[in-house]
């Protein structure tokens, strides 16, 4: 805690490692640490950045991060990859990501904790944000892959969210049309350079036509949609400026606390089932019962529906008996 207050990098890494731990014996120290974290007078910006694999997230984040550093801001990047659960290994596993950023003493790049469950990732992210804020980072970028349900849950933890869009990505535009438009704050078309520049221009026009005019919080529709090239830097200055402008407006308006409260409650509504599941999964008696029922299904032809009923009865009977 002292180390974090004094911006000691080794203490920060130790604290984040503690937060990533799923060992029961670490949980009381973890909770103590979280209770003791000092509140900063000036809140940090929690910036969510998401997009499909291959859209150019790392490259854009590196360039954006360097621009923030140039403005004298301290930047932390937390990368979340829930799909690493499915694919048994992170897609983001490349260690050479964001090289320039990760070498800068005012920046901190932390990849997703491996082996964390979805609910765990959300919980971890919230706690890691709090630690990074206490350490003194002013911009905390939360990077996630895709626009699935779990990624959206993680984004309830942010103040401002960016959706990166591949030039010519019809499916993503479809998804935006279907409801993501209300969820992300800024839409950023990547790779507006070289061969993909015409496609980027086309996607830009399509996005403009999707956006209903007269959004309450910004009269200028174009300030929602950015066409950028991390390579040439085109559009990156405007994007950086818009993020900082929005952040200053939000921080100045005193709405920030109620916005964060509202988003925390959304996060709670979405994530409690995962938290409950993780708690049950770490209970040895429940583990044994799950294995027993699984065996009945695979070997004795028990229907999965009957298996669910058996397990749920067991869980509730157990909670009754144990207290």
Is 237 a binding residue for a second copy by CB under 8 A? The answer is: no
Is 32 a binding residue for a second copy by CB under 8 A? The answer is: no
Is 53 a binding residue for a second copy by CB under 8 A? The answer is: yes
Is 233 a binding residue for a second copy by CB under 8 A? The answer is: no
Bridge pairing between strands 107-110 and 186-189:
unpaired
Contacting range for a second copy; rule: CB under 8 A; set: 71-79, 195-203, 233-241, 270-278: 270-278
- Of 107-166, which residues contact a second copy (CB under 8 A)? 123, 126-127, 147-149, 152
| Among 5, 215, 251, 277, interactor with a second copy by CB under 8 A | 277
What's the burial of 201, exposed, middle or buried (CB within 10 Å: 0-12/13-18/19+)? Answer: middle
For 88, the token pair is 């048994």
Is 38 a binding residue for a second copy by CB under 8 A? The answer is: no
Provide the 3-class DSSP secondary structure of residue 110: strand
Interatomic CA distance for residues 275 and 270, integer angstroms: 10
Interatomic CA distance for residues 228 and 191, integer angstroms: 6
| Among 50, 79, 85, 125, interactor with a second copy by CB under 8 A | 85
Is 34 a binding residue for a second copy by CB under 8 A? The answer is: yes
Spell out a b/e string for 44-58, using b for 16 or more CB atoms within 10 Å of the CB, else e: bbbbbbbbbeebbbb
Nearer residue to a second copy within complex by CB, 10 or 300? 300
| Among 40, 205, 279, 288, interactor with a second copy by CB under 8 A | 279
Q: How far is the CB of 8 from a second copy (least distance, A)?
A: 25
Is 323 a binding residue for a second copy by CB under 8 A? The answer is: yes
Is 264 a binding residue for a second copy by CB under 8 A? The answer is: yes
What's the burial of 210, exposed, middle or buried (CB within 10 Å: 0-12/13-18/19+)? Answer: middle
Of 143, 60, 61, 137, residue with least CA distance to 106: 137
Is 77 a binding residue for a second copy by CB under 8 A? The answer is: no
Is 89 a binding residue for a second copy by CB under 8 A? The answer is: yes
Is 83 a binding residue for a second copy by CB under 8 A? The answer is: yes
Nearer residue to a second copy within complex by CB, 138 or 271? 271
For 151, the token pair is 């990624």
Q: How far is the CB of 212 from a second copy (least distance, A)?
A: 16
Nearer residue to a second copy within complex by CB, 38 or 170? 170
Is 27 a binding residue for a second copy by CB under 8 A? The answer is: no
Contacting range for a second copy; rule: CB under 8 A; set: 81-89, 131-139, 217-225, 248-256: 81-89
Interatomic CA distance for residues 128 and 134, integer angstroms: 10
CA torsion sign for 255, 257, 260, 262 is: negative
DSSP state of 297: H
Of 140, 129, 127, 126, residue with least CA distance to 61: 140
Is 214 a binding residue for a second copy by CB under 8 A? The answer is: no
Interatomic CA distance for residues 280 and 213, integer angstroms: 47
User: Which run of H or E residues covers position 269?
Assistant: helix 256-281
Interatomic CA distance for residues 116 and 86, integer angstroms: 11
Chain contacts with a second copy (rule: CB under 8 A): 34, 52-54, 83, 85-89, 91, 123, 126-127, 147-149, 152, 170-171, 174-175, 178-180, 257-258, 261-262, 264-265, 267-269, 271-277, 279-280, 290, 293-295, 297-299, 301, 303-305, 307-308, 311-312, 315-317, 319-320, 323
């Amino acid at each position: 805690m002292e180390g974090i207050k004094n911006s000691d990098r080794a203490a920060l890494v130790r604290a984040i490692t503690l937060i990533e731990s799923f060992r029961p014996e670490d949980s009381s120290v973890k909770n103590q640490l979280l209770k003791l974290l000092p509140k900063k007078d000036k809140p940090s910006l929690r910036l969510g950045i998401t997009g499909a694999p291959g859209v150019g997230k790392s490259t854009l984040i590196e360039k954006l991060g360097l621009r923030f550093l140039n403005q004298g801001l301290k930047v932390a990047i937390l990368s979340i990859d829930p799909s690493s659960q499915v694919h048994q290994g992170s897609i983001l596993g490349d260690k050479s990501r964001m090289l320039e950023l990760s070498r800068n003493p005012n920046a901190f790049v932390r990849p997703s904790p491996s082996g964390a469950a979805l609910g765990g990732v959300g919980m971890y992210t919230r706690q890691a944000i709090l630690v990074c804020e206490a350490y003194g980072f002013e911009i905390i970028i939360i990077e996630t892959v895709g626009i699935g349900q779990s990624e959206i849950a993680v984004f309830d933890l942010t103040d401002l969210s960016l959706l990166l869009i591949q030039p010519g990505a019809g499916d993503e535009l479809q998804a935006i049309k279907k409801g993501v438009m209300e969820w992300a704050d800024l839409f950023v078309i990547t790779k507006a350079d070289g061969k993909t520049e015409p496609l980027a221009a086309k996607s830009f026009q399509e996005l403009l036509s999707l956006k209903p005019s007269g959004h309450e919080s910004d009269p200028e529709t174009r300030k929602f949609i950015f066409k950028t090239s991390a390579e040439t830097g085109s559009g990156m200055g405007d994007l950086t400026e818009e993020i900082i402008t929005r952040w200053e407006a939000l921080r100045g308006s005193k709405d920030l606390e109620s916005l964060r409260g509202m988003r925390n409650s959304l996060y709670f509504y979405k994530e409690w089932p995962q938290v409950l599941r993780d708690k049950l999964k770490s209970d040895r008696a429940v583990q044994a019962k799950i294995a027993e029922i699984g065996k009945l299904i695979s070997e004795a032809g028990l229907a999965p529906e009957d298996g669910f009923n058996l397990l749920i009865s067991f869980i509730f009977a157990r909670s009754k008996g144990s207290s």
